[in-house]
Amino acid sequence: MSAVILAADDIQVAQNIGFGIIAAIMVIGALKVVTSKNVVHAALSLVLVLSGAAAQYILLGAEFVAVSQILVYVGAVMVLFLFGVMLTRAKLGKETDLDQPKAWLGVPVALLMLGVLAWVLIDGFQDERLPADATSKAAVEISDSVLGPALVPFLALTFVLVAAVIGGIVLARKD
């Protein structure tokens, strides 16, 4: 089945193989995040998943999104995670009490969500393809729209930051 798809004329074989490999790495990484007994290992597996997502964005020709993904998630968020682990827990080895006894309840919910969303996406986009010359001007377009039609959402982000900064002050201030 997959071989048939790969052999079709208008399919970019290299991209598809790349997609498959990265996707497999991401799935394994995601499983590791929830099954690992070691918090630091779980965090590092998450790095794998997030970098994989960035790689997929590059395959889609969205290099700006990919770079932001690396900067924000792999760079900032992960460092915060690791700092958080470092600063709050002395123990860095395996732990036994990480698993919730009712964790299995999440499995059917996750499978249901996966099924519905996968069906929705397949049904929604059916056999649409990215144009083969999708080497994008995405960064230029994004910067133009951020300073043009999307200026207001961009400025509204400052409201979010103001709220977050005030929140940080309130929570961190000593009496």
75 lies in the binding site for another protein (CB under 8 A): no
Question: Which one among 21, 23, 71, 120 touches another protein, defined by CB under 8 A?
Answer: 120
CB 72 within 8 A of CB 56: no
34 lies in the binding site for another protein (CB under 8 A): no
Question: Which one among 34, 105, 119, 137 touches another protein, defined by CB under 8 A?
Answer: 119
The piece of 8-16, 65-73, 129-137, 142-150 that touches another protein (CB under 8 A) is 142-150
151 lies in the binding site for another protein (CB under 8 A): yes
CB 139 within 8 A of CB 64: yes
C-beta closer to another protein: residue 27 or 164: 164
Tokens of 67: 């770079």
Give the residue among 132, 118, 46 at the shortest CA–CA distance from 81: 46
164 lies in the binding site for another protein (CB under 8 A): yes
C-beta closer to another protein: residue 92 or 117: 117
Q: State the chain's maximal CA–CA distance in angstroms.
A: 69
- Shortest distance, position 160 Cβ to another protein, whole Å: 5
What are the φ/ψ torsions at residue 70 (nearest 5 degrees)?
Answer: -65, -50
125 lies in the binding site for another protein (CB under 8 A): yes
CA angle 121–145–138, rounded 5-degree value:
60
The torsion of the CA quartet 85, 88, 91, 96, rounded to 10 degrees, works out to -80
121 lies in the binding site for another protein (CB under 8 A): yes
Length of the chain: 175
153 lies in the binding site for another protein (CB under 8 A): yes
- Which runs of consecutive H residues, i.e. helices, occur in 60-150? 63-69, 78-88, 106-125, 138-146
Q: How far apart are CA 72 and CA 76, in angstroms?
A: 5
104 lies in the binding site for another protein (CB under 8 A): no
109 lies in the binding site for another protein (CB under 8 A): no
The binding site for another protein (CB under 8 A) comprises 116-117, 119-121, 123-125, 147-153, 156-157, 159-160, 162-164, 166-167, 169-171, 173, 175
